Structure 1
Amino acid sequence: MFSTFAQLENDKFGKWLSDRKLHRSIQNCLNSSAEVTTSENFWALYWHKHWKTQSNHLAKMHLLAYLQEPCYWTASKTVAKFTNSQYSLADYFQMANTEIETILKDFKAEKCSSLKAYAMMAMPSRLRDILRQRQEAELCTNWALLRKVSKKLLLEALSEVGLSPTAMTQYRLAWTCFKELYVQKQPSGIAKLPEPSRQLWEAIANLYNQERKSQLTQSTGECTSETIEKWLTQTALYVRAYLFPPVKSLNTFKQDDDTTITFDVPDPSSSSPMADMIAEEDVENRQNQISQMSAELLNSLQSLDAQSQEVLKLYYQQGLTQQQIVQELQMSQPTVSRRLVKGRESMLAALVKWSQSTLNIPVHSNQIKDMSLFLEEWLRNQYGEYNMMSTR
């Protein structure tokens, strides 16, 4: 589990590939003492601590292997939801893998005991944010992108491609002149900014040539408008590539001196006491998470006033429309609608609060949408169970 990576074949799960060095590492840890636990959660927190406190590369690789399942689960859910997307399951899976380091940084072991549970909750939102940003970037022209990017991100993008310090300062100054003469004069809400005119490029070049005398530490020659345009076009490409790197092959893993990825495919029918124990614990952890969330929602449901509970019951258990509930309970339509909305909002608030305190999940609009969908499913299942019990 801490040494295997998922391989996709024909855009679906194919097999698990084991990394020999990671496998030896975890086996050495387990063999170091007869009293060392085989608890999945223990080792997840153990490697996370080593990664966080020591920037340990081996620990990071163990965690990348450990979180393959949440990555695949997130990719499967995403590809099912966005059926018209240009991305495949393998693309989504690779995107999820690239977000693991962010998940590790955001995870707080003192507030959430399960790294995998946190990843299962946080990763879908991370992936949606990436897709939304990618779509926005694809719609933006080079000039809109240069308008939006901050100085910090611009310099990071230029540094990433290995430009010399002198070239970086020249590109940065050209970008500053561009913003001063062009971007700030455009409507702020327009993504498709018009192409700068040749006259404007000349003005930007003139401003650059004036400012370079005081802004650049090294002496450089004057630049033509064509050079400035070329620099800024290239800068936009650098920024776009830095913010949204292309999706690479799922099965391509980085090799370096510290960890060389070599694959030794295990017999899928083989088993071990440790594997069985981890599998059982994984199921148990998930069941515990679901039980806790269900208990929280049930408490919230029972704390609602009697009328709200009755409206929810008729709506979800008996499948009545709002108009039918109006006739059943002799209420006004606005009252029925308000009871439904307020009841669900109250339960959703309870679920958000529980997630914050138990899983340390950052709450934003996408996360709330996920919780709202979970609540809707829970209500239908909950009242469905009551309905089945009443017909026995």
Structure 2
Amino acid sequence: MLNQLPILLKHQHLAHRFYMYMIVDNSINRRAIQWRPELHLQRNIDLYQTQHDLFATLLNQKNEQGLVQFWLDIALNNLPSKYNWEPENRIQKAWEHLSLYCEDSCYRAALQVWKENRCKCWEEYIFIARCLIYDPVKFREILAKYDPSISPLYVYIIEVLRKTIKDEGAVAKFSKWRLLCKKSNKELKEALIRYGIFEPEVSRFLFARKYFRQIYQFNKIQNPATRSGQRWIEPDSNDFQEAAQYYNAEKSLAIAPHQVAIAKDVTSEQLHRWMEICITALRNYPQSIIPRISLEVISTVSYEIEPSLGFYLEIENSIFEQKSLCQRTDAVLQQELLALNDNQKEILYLYYGLGWNQKQIAAKFAVTQGAIARRLQTIERRLINAVYSLKQPPQWVTGYVTTWLKYNYETPDNSDLIHAALVIAIQRLNAQSQNLLRLYYGQKLDTNAISKQLCLPLSIVNELLSQINYELECALFKELDLIIRKFLDIWLNKKYQYIKNQNFILQSQQLILA
């Protein structure tokens, strides 16, 4: 740990105090604390500045106490009366503005305690303070006792936080290793994303934390030799070494995420660094700290992708093209249905509309059940070929697989059906093929380096890579066929259920008229 608490820069504008939060930046040689905007709160400030004359006036004053009181009135008393242009959740936003206003006080209080007692790291002191101001129940209790006639809010908050840090720090309630062990995968994932860690590292960090937590808890927490007062003691090198061994042994199993399975083995030192990054990310963004992960943050890095639109083969990137493909698919299938003969149409209606089984349909047509099964298969294949004609898989699958391996091998989109199919196909390859992909697309080694490492002729390496591409293309063709079959089953069910309902309505109307 550094023995010097970084200097926190002052806000350049009064409004910044109500929509910016602290984050520890490790991107330079020494740590620094920087301010980052919470975008939805920044927009809220802009809204009030343009719509509320008093608020705009308060923003231009040198003293922030007027703005503090403005948000306090809304948060504690829902005053003044709400304007139509104000957000429905204005009380919640007021609390969030006040919490972010107190971020600076967290730093000041932590600084005071740290100067008195440097036996603990300053990050821990800041973390204890932030947990309090983002606890909605405790924070409300604190502000309810605040008297603006005695002192400004920041002075009052610093004193409350200073006492809290001393009390909580004395019992080691907020050990960083406790924090790492107690947080869920969802919380850690959100913290890492906000901190600027994305795939494939996120999956690897989560997988590493799983084994470190097991080893640490067994060796340190559940160890009878550990005294209760030393419950969350520092892990030693053996803990990280053992966790790394488990990580490397388990990463080749089916339980390991794709991003983990394709990566190199991890060393104990690397795993230790990963856990420290996780701790820093959690301290910057624990679940109890409300600045939520903004949609803008997600969309900027394209980390979360909305699920694809059903089973249509949407390889286009634009929404317009996706909708166009859906419409064209529907039109082609409608045209194919119209071209069927009367017997084929009746079979589909009985099967999908009325829910008859093949045996019942066979009895009606006085043929065998196998004959009906073959007729259904003939119709299905005709419709599949019609869908294939829209995107012509033979023409794009080869290029798609090559591009995917180059750009998405390490970071597949699990919500994309084609990405998921390729991941499964890779998992079904033999060990040699998986290792080749790991070296070529994961570790970015050229074929000459791979040839030397595996003691294989260069021509064999190139031949194997081509063979792997071909195997993945074949697997993708099979998966596309299954996807289209599933889609057709859904489409035909909806189509003939609609026809059945329309027939029922028509018959009812005829009975009424009769």
Q: TM-score range by the shorter chain?
A: 0.3 to 0.5
Q: Which has the larger radius of gyration?
A: 2
Structure with greater contact order relative to length (CA < 8 Å, sep ≥ 6): 1
